[in-house]
Amino acid sequence: MLISPLFLAAAISSLRVASADGSALVARQGTELPGPLTDPRVTSMLADIPGFGPLPNVTDVVTNATLPVDDIQADILVGMRKKKERFYFFKINNATLFKAGLHNTVVAEITSVKKILTVSTQPQVAVNLAFSQAGLTKLGKTDNLNDTVFSAGQAADANFLGDPGTNGWEPTFVATSSLHGVILLASDTTTLIDTQVAHLEAVWGSSITKLYELQGAIRPGAEEGHEMFGYKDGIAQPAVFGFNLVPYPGQLAVPAGIILTGEAGDTVTRPSWTKDGSFMAFRKLRQYVPEFNNFVVSNAPPVANKTTAESIAIFGSRLVGRWKSGAPIDKTPLVDDPVMAADPYQNNNFDFFHLLSNFTSDQSHCPFAAHIRKTRPRDDLPTGALNTIMRAGIPYGPEPSNSELTNGATTQDRGLAFVAYQSQIAQGFQFLQHSWANTPTFVPGKNVQPGFDPIIGANAGNDRWAVGTDIANPTGNLTFPVFIKSNGGEYFFVPSISAIRDTLSV
Ligand code: HEM
Ligand SMILES: *[C@@H]1O[C@H](CO)[C@@H](O)[C@H](O)[C@H]1NC(C)=O
Ligand SMILES: *[C@@H]1O[C@H](CO)[C@@H](O)[C@H](O)[C@H]1NC(C)=O
Ligand SMILES: *[C@@H]1O[C@H](CO)[C@@H](O)[C@H](O)[C@H]1NC(C)=O
Ligand SMILES: *[C@@H]1O[C@H](CO)[C@@H](O)[C@H](O)[C@H]1NC(C)=O
Ligand SMILES: *[C@@H]1O[C@H](CO)[C@@H](O)[C@H](O)[C@H]1NC(C)=O
């Protein structure tokens, strides 16, 4: 084992604390980063998923980029590539002790964007840290972050998001006054994550209490990179100026301030220490996979010259807007194209307009209500829109069992640990969910109301409807039961590493 700089930093800071505060030292004795976690990495902690395209080259980013990638927390710009990820939700019992552990030990272990880009600089476990409004208040930070959706908390937003109030929510997300923060821990094994958690719990001792945790994992084998319904997820992400230096064709290129607070393009005035942070929307979205599968099988209209199995696959793809492979149906509506799906130069390179077809009525390529069209209408909005999010979620829960699939009934808890980053929640996650996915009149200007997003559209727990899912009947109106139930979540602020070190932990 190598003695890493992190180890030395931890040891030195413990000494420093010893002279300042003898009692605090007791809490942190033996809390150096444990051996296995200081070993350099030889294999990446991130999955290499066909169709995502590699992360930017670190040399190019450091040479050419304008963002301080060594100060921005990694998850904000990395996307849905993690192999294992744990969400550790906690309460702060003693802010003084919590800050001491954070300042003297943990802040040096928080993983930056820069570190995650190269295997040799990746830690064994990537650690990111975020605070709720209640958490910032607990730390004595009463500054107004100027995001009312964040400061009110997600429970207050439940009805607006289309949830049936907080019915069905995890209790931790309802009792918002004690949910102060979340630690994100990503690695390639849960054993390494366990070791990192034990270390953090030793550092913080009784100053924090774990309230709830959720273990996410990339799905096994051929399902790698696919969400629980079986569709490749995480393909379309915005390209952030100053980081994604060369956007792929069809990527939505946005000023960094759409995702990062205080960067160019963020129109809101906030305290200076919030620069290069991001607001994180976390949602536990439980998916009913056998029920979804059976609905798709039972409701798939026959498509001319296609087998039953092909008609079923076409119908499913029309709900998402992509085939299970990830190939966009706008480009290939009647047959899957795995080669296109795996090619980042092709798999986003489309809009919804087609020559010689009527833009107000043509749903033969992609239905107006399809998930990817609702959440990114592309040229359906003539002036475009910068309402977007960086998605960084991961599936959680076991694979569907044979008995669940045979009986057509979910008995186990599985779904998506949904994470979205943005500089303004009201322009990002909340907007996409409320104003687009849940609003039947969106997108306007068509000859019919599109209806709800059949995947995520939410109607206070009631059935939803959408038109155009039958390729042969563009005005046909179908009712969809609920396939995804919200178990709630919270809004967090993900500060820059320097803000944690210099402002939040002192
Ligand atoms: C369990 C819940 C969800 C599932 C199963 C799901 C599934 C998918 C899939 C399969 C794709 C296509 C692949 C891709 O482009 O990455 C996608 C894209 C997308 N989803 Fe979701 N999603 C879920 C929740 C959400 C939520 C809650 C939002 C936001 C409110 C959202 C926003 C988006 C966006 C913005 C895209 C990319 C659209 C584009 O730029 O073309 N998703 N999702
Ligand atoms: C990044 O680019 C540099 C300079 O072009 C090159 O030497 C290096 O091998 C690249 N790194 C990776 C990981 O591709
Ligand atoms: C980064 O800058 C170098 C030197 O100016 C240039 O050769 C290279 O093409 C740039 N790379 C990108 C991705 O912009
Ligand atoms: C927090 O811990 C410190 C150090 O042990 C102690 O002096 C202080 O009283 C504690 N504060 C609270 C509110 O318990
Ligand atoms: C919030 O940002 C807006 C837009 O810059 C600004 O007008 C307003 O004064 C800010 N409010 C606070 C409390 O900082
Ligand atoms: C589709 O059906 C639903 C429920 O029956 C109804 O509320 C909605 O208005 C219909 N939409 C259209 C465009 O006909």
Dump pLDDT digits (tens) for 450-470: 999 999 999 999 999 999 999
Q: Dig out the tokens for 185 from the structure.
A: 């821990």
pLDDT in tens, 17-30: 333 333 444 344 45
Listed residue (100, 97, 104, 92) closest to 136, CA to CA: 92
| Burial label, 281 (beta-carbon count in 10 A; 0-12, 13-18, 19+) | buried
125-155 pLDDT tens trace: 999 999 999 999 999 999 999 999 999 999 9
Q: Given a cut of 70, is residue 423 above it in pLDDT? A: yes
Distance CA 451, CA 472 (A): 18
What is the pairing mode between strands 390-391 and 394-396? unpaired
Take atom 33 of ligand 1 and give the residue whose Cα is closest. 375
Per-residue pLDDT at 30: 52
Distance in angstroms (rounded) separating the CA atoms of residues 387 and 395: 24
Please provide the average confidence, as pLDDT, over all residues in the chain: 93
Q: What does the pLDDT read at residue 45?
A: 97
Active site residue 75: no
Residue 171 reports pLDDT greater than 50: yes
Q: 94: Cβ below 6 Å to ligand 4?
A: yes
- Interval 463-492 mean pLDDT: 98
Which atom of ligand 4 is least distant from the CA of 95? 1
Q: How confident is the model at residue 9 (pLDDT cuts 50, 70, 90)?
A: very low
Greatest mean pLDDT range, 14-18, 65-69, 162-166: 162-166
Instruction: Flag whether pLDDT at 14 surpasses 90.
Output: no
Ligand with the closest atom to the CA of 120: 2
Condensed to tens digits (0 to 9), the pLDDT of residues 260-270 reads 999 999 999 99
Residue 6 clears pLDDT 80, i.e. is over it: no
285-332: per-residue pLDDT in tens? Answer: 999 999 999 999 999 999 999 999 999 999 999 999 999 999 999 999
User: What average pLDDT score do residues 231-258 get?
Assistant: 96
Please give the distance, rounded to the nearest whole angstrom, from the Cα atom of residue 323 to the centre of ligand 1.
Answer: 13
Using pLDDT thresholds of 50, 70 and 90, give the confidence band for residue 32: confident
- Residue 117 Cα: closest atom of ligand 2: 13
Q: In the prediction, which pLDDT does 291 show?
A: 98
Beta partners for residue 239, in sequence order:
253
Helix (H) or strand (E) holding 297: helix 289-299
DSSP state of 397: S
Checking if the pLDDT of 5 tops 60, the result is: no
d(CA 9, CA 12): 5
Mean pLDDT, range 157-179, rounded to an integer: 97
Q: What is the pTM of this model?
A: 0.94
Confidence of residue 38 (pLDDT cuts 50, 70, 90): very high
* pLDDT surpassing 50 at residue 4: no
Which of 55, 59, 120 most suits a substitution to test ligand 2, by most atoms within 8 Å of the C-beta?
Answer: 59
Distance (Å, rounded) from C-alpha 491 to C-alpha 155? Answer: 9
Pocket lining: 57 vs ligand 2, CB cutoff 6 Å: yes
For ligand 4, is residue 22 a contact (CB within 6 Å)?
no
Longest Cα–Cα distance of the chain, Å, equals 80
Q: What is the mean pLDDT of residues 245-268?
A: 96
Residue with CA at minimum distance from ligand 4 atom 11: 94
Q: Which of 2-11, 47-56, 243-252, 474-483 has the lowest mean pLDDT?
A: 2-11
Q: Which ligand is nearest to the CA of 477?
A: 6
Ligand 3, atom nearest to 246 Cα:
13
pLDDT of residue 2: 37
CA angle 307, 302, 226 (to 5 degrees): 70
The residues, any chain, with a CB within 8 Å of residue 102's CB and separated by 6 or more, are 129, 204, 500, 504, 505
Asked if the peptide bond before residue 448 counts as cis, ω within 30 degrees of 0, the response is no
Kindly tell me if the per-residue pLDDT of 1 is higher than 80. no
Cα(501) to centroid(ligand 4), Å: 21
> pLDDT value at position 56?
93
DSSP state of 451: B
pLDDT at residue number 64? 86
Neighbours of 144 (CB within 10 A): 10
Q: What is the pLDDT of residue 387?
A: 97
> Mean of the pLDDT values across residues 8-13?
36
Return the ligand 2 atom nearest residue 57 CA.
Answer: 1
